Structure formats: C-alpha cells, structure tokens
Structure 1
Amino acid sequence: MPFGAQLLEGGRVRFRLWAPVAERVDVLLQKPGAGAIALPMEARDAGWFELTSDEATVDDLYRYRIDGSCEVPDPASRYNPQGVHGASQVIEPGRFVWTDRNWRGRPWEEAIIYQLHVGAFTPQGSFAAVRERLDHLVDLGVTAIQLLPVGAFAGAHDWGYDGVLPFAPAASYGHPDELKDLVQTAHQKGLMVLLDLACHCFGPEGNYLSVYAPAFFAPRTTEIAGRSIDVTLAVAGEFLIHNALYWLEEFHLDGLRLNAALLQDNAGELDLLEAVADAVREGPGKHRHCHLLLGHDRRAAHYLQWHDHSAPRRYEGVWNDAAQQAMQEVLSGASAGAVATARSLDRLGACLSRGFADGGADGLLPTAFVTFLQDYARIGDRALGERLHQLTPARPLGALVATSLLAPMPPALFMGEEFAAAQPFLYFCDFNPALVKNVASDRRKSFAHLQGFRATRARARVPDPTDPTTFHRCKLDWSSVRQPPHADWLDFYRRLLAVRRREICPRLPGMHEEAVQHTVLGGRGLSIHWTLGDDSILTLLANYSGVQLEGLQRPVGAVLWAEPGEADHALTQGRLLPWSVVWLLRGAA
C-alpha cells in the first residue's frame, strides 16, 4: 500500500503521507510509557513526505505533525484505537493467522444477501457479536452478509457513511483482527462477506486530510453531508483503488458495493470504476470470487455488460432501487385500502423482467440486478424509521416477499426483516455538537413537506439523531425471534429461501440476455416467464389485489411455491386468490 504506515522486512516501518500544502511534516511516535518522539519526514516530489524508521515497531501509536503545529491521525491508518481524533497505530497485517486458504468464495448466482449494521445488529454492537449470530443467518438460508461501512467515523455510533479513516475499522466495533475473525468464521460456515465501500466521501467531523491536502476533495463548501473526493485527481483515484484492494486482500472479503456517485460522464477522465474493477480482477479476483456491485444508477449498465460469456463482467450487479420503488407502490395501495394501478404493476413487471422500469438495461441478465424490499436507506429515511411490516398488512407484504425472494434476481434482506423486528432503523450519529451543529433541527426540517409533519409540534416527534437513545432503539431484540408473530415470519422466510437455494440458484448459471416479457393480468396481477440456464421455464403468477383474479389460462409446470390451496385454484380453475403468488417450473423441452 503506497500510503500510511507499512511494516517492512527486517522490522522497519515506512511512513508515507501526501500533504501538498505542508512545508514540513514530522512523525510523532508514541512509545508505551514514554514521551512522543518527533521524527522528521523527507519531502519528496508532488507533495509526498516519507520516512523509513527502525525506531517504530508494531503497536506503536503515531500522529503526523504538520508545519510544527497541527497534529493529525494517518488518513490511511489501519487502526485508530482512541477514535478518529486520536493517534493511529502501527499494525502488522500478517499477524493474524488465516485458516481459510481453501476458500474460493461462491458464484454470484448463489448470492442471497443479508445487509446489516454492525453496531445495531446485536446489543454489543461489535464484530465479535456479529460472529456469534452467524448460525442464525446460515439457518435462515442467506449466503452472503453485507456490512454497512465500517471505516472509522466520529463518535461511538454512526450509519458508517460519515467515515473519515476509510482503511481503519471503527474502534467501537473492535480490533481489525476481530473483523478478520468474523470473516474467517463466516467462510467456515459457507457465508460470503461483502462490504459497502464509502471512501468516496469523508464525513463532516474528523476530516483532517482537508487541512493539509484540500485538493483531495471536490471544491465545495463543507456541509453536514461531508466532502466528496475529487475523482479526477490521480492521487485520490489511487487512494480509492488501494482502499478497495485493501479490504479484499487484508480482510479476505468476498466483494464490495461502490457508490454510484463514482460514475463519471466526462470523456477523457480516468474511469475510476473501470480502474477499480481491473485492479481487482488482476489481483485477488484472479484466484477467487470477488464480487463488485454498484449503487442504483442507469448509467451502471455499461459496467454490467458481458463482452462474452468467457470473461466476467466488471461488476456483477447493481442494487435496483427501481424495483424496490415499484414494490413499494403496490404495497402503498394495499395499506391505503386501494387497488394497485395497472401502471404501477407494469412498472413492477418491467423491473422484474428487464431490470429498470424505463429502459437503459437492454441485454443484461436478470442476475445483474439485486432486488430488495427494504434496506437501511428505505427504512432510515422515513421520519420514524418504520419497517414495512409496521406499515403494510401481512398478506400483501407476504406476497411481495415471495415475489422478490424467488425471482431470478439476487435478493437482499435488511437485518431483522426476516422476523419482522419491532425495532425501527433511525438515522443516528454521534458528532461533537461544538463542531457539527443543527443536526436534529436540519433532520426535522427535511420532513416539513410531508403530510403529518408540517407543524413544528409534529416534527418534534422525529428522533434526534445525536441522542444516544435514538441509536439504542435500533438494536435488534433477539429474544423476540421465538415468539409470535416473529417466529412465523422467520419460518416463512426460511421456507422461501430453501426453495431458492434448492430449485432456482442451481439453474441460474448459463442464462442468456433474452427479452423477458411480462403481462399485466386483469389490471391486478402479473405473469412473467424466464428461461433459466438449463432451459427450464420459471413462471410467476401473482394477484396483487384484494379481489379474486379470474379467467387465467391454465399454467404449465410443477409448483415451486404457493401457500396452501392457492396453487389448486390457479391450476384447475384459472383463478388467483387475493394477494396470492404462485411460482411454477417447467423442465427443458
């Protein structure tokens, strides 16, 4: 890694920092039980400072002192045990003993993703505590966990998108070796581990890099959202590429999700997303499955195309917000006691058949689109952080769950969804109020345009993100899992995912980019047929209304999934009961 503190052969440590506006930089080395030692760094070309020292050793704490006054942590720190304002620590990555050398990951077609926030997933909020819950995820039937960003952020708790030390696992979650132990244990249980990568943007507190390297960031005023890196700057691009390689190589992660903000439209610029993908394919991806995903953006299609079926795509998939929004439209009608419009059903059918509802995805496989009903943003962006089961009747929600989990698209769940967790997922952060002001008032004002929150008194119901109780309210209550109705939902999800793993995942490899058609049935339902990789035909028949749907042609195929009695009506009487979903599979001709 060309940045930060690197342990060299023979025990020496090389320190390297890009500080283009600094005239002098020292390493302040803190030995246990002794005062700090100032070691001057040598100025190099293009704003770089470097020092190789035999006085530093593993576990020593250090800071950089800029021009004799400003003391800052290492922006490429591997660990900051005292938080983002404290000293960085020299870490030897090779000290952890890996036992997963035979792990090669899992093919993308087997992906069933479980998105989780390390701090809120368990009462302890640590890597070690997540490790203790892996058996639950194995029993559930998921094959991959996706961690929200874990790079060090200000304070003790945060969503993770306000990180300012993108190479350092947050100290509140545990030591880097504890994250490695989580990954290794997951691999032993057959689970992939993916990570949301958020190094494109630095949070509003603890961003010392902007002091001595302001050119690293896009020129704009610092706001509550933080500052985005300048993707046209070579040093920033190199920083991002190495950050991606770092998580995949040093932590043996199986994949990354990159933000769609990195998509570039300007011709002639280095395409960072291509550069990241090429570095991964030529690096860790040469020897094992390393899956790269993108946030929702129609421009992502360029990165998802196959050149031919012998070479991997640069990115395996994109999170499909359009499908999520279409499913939400259908559920919103159910919540209001109304029937979903034919337009909203057509949008849902388009998303399930060709990815994006309004084009831009021609020639892409269904497996290029990650489908989800709810995620951290869809829940957390609500004023009160409600989950779908708290907003929607159970039967309509169950119909959309059965739709999303058995479609060819890789499904994603958000933590607690599988047992209808009662806990909300609210926006929370732990900024120093003296440094970052008006977080609560700005949050409440953002909902002023919504019915029910237009009055000041009503907006006061929106939880204060900086209040520690807001964060603690989001921690999952695992004692509820064995109690109704939570146990019933968990059984429902387990049965659906068992069907997916047994009948659908093995048939996905070899699918072709055919034009999948959907049909809106009677203005209330959908019919879609997919040809799978073994030439079998997967069929969805669904009634997304509270009224019986009649006059259907008798479907052909063996029933993969239906609630008791629902398949009989479809197969023998050409009827779909209210809010019923029937999945069928017909073998290759």
Structure 2
Amino acid sequence: MGIMREIGASFSKEKGTVFTVWAPEAERAQVIIEKPEGRTVPLQREAFGYWVGASDEVKPGDRYFFKLDNKDPRPDPASLSQPDGVHKASEVIDHSTFDWTDNNWKGIPLEQYIIYELHVGTFSDEGTFEGVINKLPELQDLGVTAIEIMPVAQFPGSRNWGYDGVYPFAAQNSYGGAEGLKKLVNACHEAGIAVVLDVVYNHMGPEGNYLNEYGPYFTDKYHTPWGSALNFDDAHSDHIRNFFLQNALMWLRDFHIDALRLDAVHAIYDTGAKHFLQELKEQTSLLGEQLGKDFILIAESDQSDVRMLNPQEKGGYGLDAQWFDDYHHAIHTLVTGEVEGYFEDYGKPEQLQKALEHSFVYNGLYSEHRKKTVGTDATDVPAKQFVVCSQNHDQVGNRMLGDRLTQLVSFEMQKTVAGMILLSPYVPMLFMGEEYGEDNPFLYFVSHTDKNLVEAVRKGRKEEFKYFATKGEEFPDPQSEDTFNKSKLSRSYEQNEKHRQLRDFYKELIRIRKKEPAMAKPDKPHMFAQMDAENMVLHMVHFGQEPSLYCLFNLSKETQTVTLNSTHGKNLKLLLNSADATWGGGASKAYSSIQETVPLLPESMLVLQKET
C-alpha cells in the first residue's frame, strides 16, 4: 500500500479550511487568499514534502493560490473549483452541504448496464449539467440504464471534448461546476440511471498545466501520443499515484458516481511491483466496502490483454470491464467496407463470429497494422466484462468530418447494426443521437487561448487524418465555435418520421434486452454464434433461459434464404422484424409459420423466439 493522504483545500465546520499541497523541492510555501484579499496562510512542511496549514477564517467561496518560494502564485493542483478558468484562483468548496436524496440508490449490476455516452457541451442546447437533467425523461423513455459522461475535469475555455483537462478534481465551470454535477448525479439516481464518469489518468492537457512547478508529476522515461507521460513508477511516484487515487475516490464518494471509465490505460506506464490500476481497484473496493456499494471500473485499452480483467489472484488488475474495440471494428468494416488505417486488420466475416465466441479477435495473432503479434485469449472472461458499441466519441469524432454511421450505411443497416450491439452478450453502449440517426456530425473541438497551441492542434489533427482524409473536403477548424455548434444534437426525431421510427426500434431492442428471460444474464457459454460468410448472415442464439431467442442478421444487399440451425431452429415464432413497416421498413408480409428456412430481406434482422 502506497502513501494515502488528502490533498487540496478541505473545509469542515470543526477545523475551518485545511490546505495540503505536495511540493518536495520548495523551501517555503504559503496560501495567498485572493478573495477576500490581503490574507495569507503559512504552510508547515511535513514528511515527503507535503505542506499543510489551516485557517478558520477561510470559508467556502473564498479564492486562493499556492505560492512556493518566490515563484508566481498558482492554482491548487487538487482544486475543487476553478470558477474563472484554468489560470485564475482556485475556490474553496464544502462537499458536505449538498442535499442528496439518493440514499435508497444501491446501483445496478454490470450486466444490466445499457450505457448512453454523452458529451455535456453538445448533448443539450444549454450545454450544461442542467441541460442533461432536462433531457433525462427522454433517456428514461428510451430505456437506457446508465449514462457515460465524457470527461468534465476543468479544461481551458468552454469548448473541449474533455481530454485536455488540467484540474482533475474540479468539475468544469462552464458546465455548472461541482454543484451542477452533483445535481445531475442525484437526478440520474432518482430516475433509476447509473452514472459512469470518463476520467483521464494517462496525460494532462497543456494549457493551464502548472503541475511541473509543484513536483515531478511527469517522467521522461515514457511518452504518450498526447504529451508527457505521468510519473507512476519513477522517483517520487508514490505521491503522483496518491494524487490520482484520491481523485478517483473523490468522484465515487463525494459525487456519488457509480463507475469510472478509465481513458486509454495502455498509456498509463507503470513497471512497478504493483501496477497503478491494481492499486486503484484495491482502493475503490475498500471504499465500496465502507459505503456498502459496488463501484465499477471500466478500462479503455487497445491491448487485448486479459490482465486488465483477470482477478488479482490470477495475476490480473481485477478491473470490472473494458471497452471492446474488436467487435466494433469487425462490424464496421463489414457494413461500410472501410479497411483503411487501423481497420486494415479487420473486414473478414469470420472475425465477427470469433468476436462473439472468444471476445478478442487478436488473441495472439499477428497484426498487419501493428506489425507485431497482439493479444491474449479472453474466451473464459465473462461477456459482462466487455462494453461494445457501433459508435462512440472516438470512432465518430476521430473521422475528419465527424460523420456518424448514419452517413455511412443505409437506414435498414442502421437497425441491423443496432440489433448486433443491443442483442449481443456484451454490455451495450450507444453514442448520443445514434438512437434516432442524428445527422449532425460529432467533430473535434477546443477553445484554447494560446495561439501557438491552437496552431499545434490544427497541425496535429491534419496529420492524424492521413488515413481518413476525404479528397477535396475542407478541414473543420477545431478552434472555431462553429465546429462546436455543428456537433450539437438536433433531436430530429421530434419532426422526422424515419428518425422517430428508428428511435422506436431502439426502444424495442432495449425492451427485449431487459425483459426477455434469455437476455437476463447473457454470456458466451449460453450463446450459439455462426457467421455464414458466403451469404453474409450472422446467426446468434441466446439459450441461457427459456424461451431462447434466435437472432438473424443479414449484412448483404440481397434477400437471403436462411437455413436455421438444426439444434436451435425448431418451434420458433417471430418476435421482431427490422424490415417491418412499423420500423420504417418495406416488408410486405408477416412470417405466419417458420420452417427450417427463413427468407431474410437485405440489410435486415429478425428475432425469433422459441414457442413455449
């Protein structure tokens, strides 16, 4: 167990405000109270270079800087609030005053998660936490059971995906700050919706990042694609680990967040005896035991490595789940025909069956794209430990034009792909707007104030689009407010009949997932999967509980006469046909009786149920 101690400004009625900052090289440290101005709080040095001081005069709402030696005053690295942005004073806040009403909320088990990923700034017209609260009835109506919020740690300006955060403890001021986020979590729990927060522990944004002035937060041993690597295993790393462990515990404890999505964990470099991710799991489990709640950690990893998910007694880190790109890539390449860039490793029909039966497609295979052997065998890892999607902020936003699947495949194929995600054995995730076929793009946007940085971002994005560049298309400027505004949801299903039908179809798929016994605890051992590569038809049967569900997906542009599997294909009736007129399809006849063969319209799906 490393060093665990509180940091930042902690207010209580008994002690006033206690300030703690880690600055091992400083000779002197003090707090400058900027508002109300004219006061300082001296800090005393403690073990390992922590500086501590208290004042019963400093109250919530007061603004402060730390001043080390004769350097310029700087905001608190563990600031809970940056009301005037990343370069200005930090604000003392009191976590104990919020009036929570979610005492009866105990969370939901991972296998019941149906996740809806959203970006606070573009999800609603307001672009705030309050704006999300106003739309919760829509999400309840859709049937999702969890929202995943893209990062909200304070970033420069008011427009950002969130991966340029520089104050991990401070909820973005332009979204509504700490109070706004707590209101959102409370409202979600009242609505029966769990909250997953996306957190970034692999790098920090460039603008407003003063960490190096405090201590060796970064290391030159490694490099990430987004800047300096954080120091998780070099000299003084105990204190950087503590910084991020305290951050995770704060979100779970003080903001009642249910789960954390850990951004790009393959860029958390740690060769120490106990990996940071393992320690993170231990600490969050400890907190869960104290509070009587199960907290969930979901990793984003591109390594196809079961070590993330394996229990610690098996040498793993014990994380609860991870984003599972192989399934996305297998589907995307087959339905769009795109095989450029990292998609070059995919596009073979049999990979779809493998992704369902064994999870990792690259499970010790040579990757042409990476020019090396990749992955381990995940066949025995439960399906609920993998989060799958057909779209997410990366897969849409990292395209030059931010184009969604809506722009790439037909209306009928959108429904078929939705079925492959929502009726898979894995934990499904939707990307905001996907459920009705949002036409607006989701582009990459920033609002930096440093001109050189803005130019560097523009240059970097252009470089990134070598693979996906569309000839003759104008490159959307990440800094432009117009780029941000174009990325807001239109909620077109309120006016557009086709979009309403698509949303109703998503609702029906979610209803099936929640209500059908065969989908109660879907898993690989209780599923039959077969890809007919010649006719491009996927068979997926869930038989964990009766009545079993037989799902068929036609990824071809022709009608296919499908022969049902002899074991699972008897005594079936129709439960759902994506080509039905109800869902905007052109099917002319219902399936009165289902024999050994079934006609399957182009780019359509059927759900058949065993007659009981």
TM-score normalised by structure 2 residue count? 0.86
Say which SS state the counterpart of residue 326 (structure 1) adopts.
helix
Match of 2:559 among 543, 548, 557: 548
Match of 1:279 among 271, 278, 283: 283
Match of 1:36 among 35, 38, 50: 38
User: Are the counterparts in 1 of residues 81 and 90 from structure 2 also a CA contact under 8 Å?
Assistant: yes
Q: 2-side partners of 1:561 and 1:37: how far apart?
A: 69
Most deviating of 519-528 and 361-370:
519-528
* Residue 316 to residue 568, structure 1, CA distance change in 2 (3 Å): farther
Correspondence for 1:358? 362
**Equivalent residue letter for 2:561:** E
User: Are the counterparts in 2 of residues 364 and 513 from structure 1 also a CA contact under 8 Å?
Assistant: no
Give 1:576 deviation, angstroms: 2.5
1:41-120 correspondence runs (5 A): 41-120=43-122
Correspondence for 1:320? 324
**Equivalent residue letter for 1:468:** E
Q: Percent identity?
A: 31
**Equivalent residue letter for 2:299:** L
Match of 1:443 among 445, 461, 472: 461
* Residue 541 to residue 83, structure 1, CA distance change in 2 (3 Å): same
User: Are the counterparts in 2 of residues 263 and 300 from structure 1 also a CA contact under 8 Å?
Assistant: no
**1:163-190 superposed Cα distances (whole Å, 9 cap, x missing partner):** 0000100001013111111111111111
Q: 2-side partners of 1:268 and 1:488: how far apart?
A: 53
User: Are the counterparts in 2 of residues 263 and 273 from structure 1 also a CA contact under 8 Å?
Assistant: no
**1:256-279 superposed Cα distances (whole Å, 9 cap, x missing partner):** 111342577866532111111111
Give 1:472 deviation, angstroms: 1.3
Q: 1-side partners of 2:171 and 2:246: how far apart?
A: 15
* Residue 442 to residue 282, structure 1, CA distance change in 2 (3 Å): closer
1:47-446 correspondence runs (5 A): 47-213=49-215, 215-219=216-220, 225-232=226-233, 233-261=237-265, 268-284=272-288, 287-305=292-310, 314-333=318-337, 344-359=348-363, 360=376, 361-434=378-451, 436-438=453-455, 439-446=457-464
Most deviating of 15-24 and 282-291:
282-291
Give 1:48 deviation, angstroms: 1.5
Say which SS state the counterpart of residue 220 (structure 2) adopts.
coil
Most deviating of 432-441 and 231-240:
432-441
Q: 2-side partners of 1:529 and 1:166: how far apart?
A: 44
**Equivalent residue letter for 1:142:** V
* Residue 586 to residue 569, structure 1, CA distance change in 2 (3 Å): closer
Match of 1:503 among 516, 539, 552: 516
Match of 2:608 among 568, 584, 588: 584
* Residue 577 to residue 89, structure 1, CA distance change in 2 (3 Å): same
Correspondence for 2:366? none
**1:123-171 superposed Cα distances (whole Å, 9 cap, x missing partner):** 1110111101000000011000000000000111100011000010000
Give 1:548 deviation, angstroms: 2.5
**Equivalent residue letter for 1:418:** E
Q: 2-side partners of 1:160 and 1:203: how far apart?
A: 9
**Equivalent residue letter for 2:241:** G
Q: 1-side partners of 2:35 and 2:339: how far apart?
A: 62
Q: 1-side partners of 2:184 and 2:302: how far apart?
A: 31
Correspondence for 2:28? 24
User: Are the counterparts in 2 of residues 204 and 222 from structure 1 also a CA contact under 8 Å?
Assistant: no
| Aligned pairs, number | 572
Unaligned regions of 5+ residues in structure 1, if any? none
Q: 2-side partners of 1:241 and 1:377: how far apart?
A: 26
**Equivalent residue letter for 2:458:** A
* Residue 396 to residue 224, structure 1, CA distance change in 2 (3 Å): closer
**1:176-207 superposed Cα distances (whole Å, 9 cap, x missing partner):** 11111111111111111110111332101111
**1:537-578 superposed Cα distances (whole Å, 9 cap, x missing partner):** 443322210123235136234444323357568646443222
**1:395-448 superposed Cα distances (whole Å, 9 cap, x missing partner):** 222211111111121110111111212211100011123351422233223324
Unaligned regions of 5+ residues in structure 2, if any? 364-375, 581-588
Say which SS state the counterpart of residue 436 (structure 1) adopts.
helix
Say which SS state the counterpart of residue 407 (structure 1) adopts.
coil
* Residue 260 to residue 560, structure 1, CA distance change in 2 (3 Å): farther
User: Are the counterparts in 1 of residues 406 and 437 from structure 2 also a CA contact under 8 Å?
Assistant: yes
Q: 2-side partners of 1:207 and 1:266: how far apart?
A: 22
Report whether the alignment pairs 1:466 with 2:479: yes
Q: 1-side partners of 2:87 and 2:592: how far apart?
A: 64
**Equivalent residue letter for 1:583:** V
Most deviating of 557-566 and 488-497:
557-566
Give 1:321 deviation, angstroms: 0.9
* Residue 434 to residue 362, structure 1, CA distance change in 2 (3 Å): same
* Residue 259 to residue 342, structure 1, CA distance change in 2 (3 Å): closer
Q: 2-side partners of 1:158 and 1:549: how far apart?
A: 46
**1:439-493 superposed Cα distances (whole Å, 9 cap, x missing partner):** 223322332455534xxxx36x111101111111111123653323322221121
**Equivalent residue letter for 1:527:** H
Say which SS state the counterpart of residue 46 (structure 1) adopts.
helix
